[in-house]
Amino acid sequence: MALGRTVQEAGIESKSTAAQLSMRAFDYGHSARLFSARSSRTAAKQGNAEQDPAAEVAEESAATEIPGDSSSASTDGLPESTADTGEHEAELQARREEVEDLKDKLARSLADMENLRERTARATEQSRTFAIQKFVSGLLGVADDMERALESVPADAQQHKDPAALLQGLRGGIALTHKTLEKALNANGVQKLTAEVGQKLDPNQHEAMFDIPNPDAEPGTIAVIVKPGYTLNGRVIRPVEVGTVRAVKG
């Protein structure tokens, strides 16, 4: 809002300056003509050429006449004050330069406003896209716990007669909870990031937690997957935690 007011004030000031320059130019020309008329009248009196009062009034009226009125008397024959004219021209030139400077500042302000609008739009879009990142990070631990619980109950536990019903219900409940959680995460742009054993380590998606010596595997590849990773709208918010193969010396 402050920048908008600055631009508006600069525009108003520029228009006001241009109007003042026009009025000053008129005042300067009027003063020069009046001064020339009075000087001519004084010279005529000193030369014993006594002038009729009515003619004197007419002459002064012609000197003060507004430019552009074709019915007024002409003052072309009157002498001009070179010093005053030069001073007025210098001031007018200074005013013109001031107006050009204001125009330049106005153009720069408008460009800055446009750049600010674009940056704000980008920042707003990023904030909207990743607003739930902190919330999602907190839910990832829940997903991990659900996976551990599922792994603790063997898939063939339901085949045993004694604990079959309990284990089947436990496993089914945990599986359903995990599925519901994954569905909620996916609805908010969260996707599970996985890796495969033997895959080349990608530092953009994988995080090596430890390394294992293995002469039969290529060094730098994934040996063990510790924990899956997750992405939010395509951005990795937690890489896949893995163990890598270390080269065996000798």
**Neighbouring C-alpha atoms within 13 Å toward the C-beta of 178:** 17
Detail the DSSP E strand segments found in the chain.
190-193, 206-213, 222-227, 229-232, 235-238, 240-246
pLDDT in tens, the chain (250 residues): 444 444 455 445 555 555 555 555 555 555 555 555 555 555 555 554 444 555 554 555 554 444 444 444 444 444 456 767 878 888 888 888 999 999 999 999 999 999 999 999 998 888 888 888 877 887 888 888 888 777 777 666 656 666 677 677 778 888 888 888 888 888 888 999 989 999 999 999 999 999 999 888 899 999 999 999 999 999 999 999 999 999 887 6
Domains of the chain: which residue ranges?
2-128, 132-188, 189-250
pTM of the model: 0.47
Is the domain spanning 189-250 CATH 2.30.22.10? The answer is: yes
Strand pairing category for 229-232 and 190-193: antiparallel
SS (H, E, C) 176-197: HHHHHHHHHHHHCCEEEECCCC
Check: CB of residue 224 under 8 Å from CB of residue 191: no
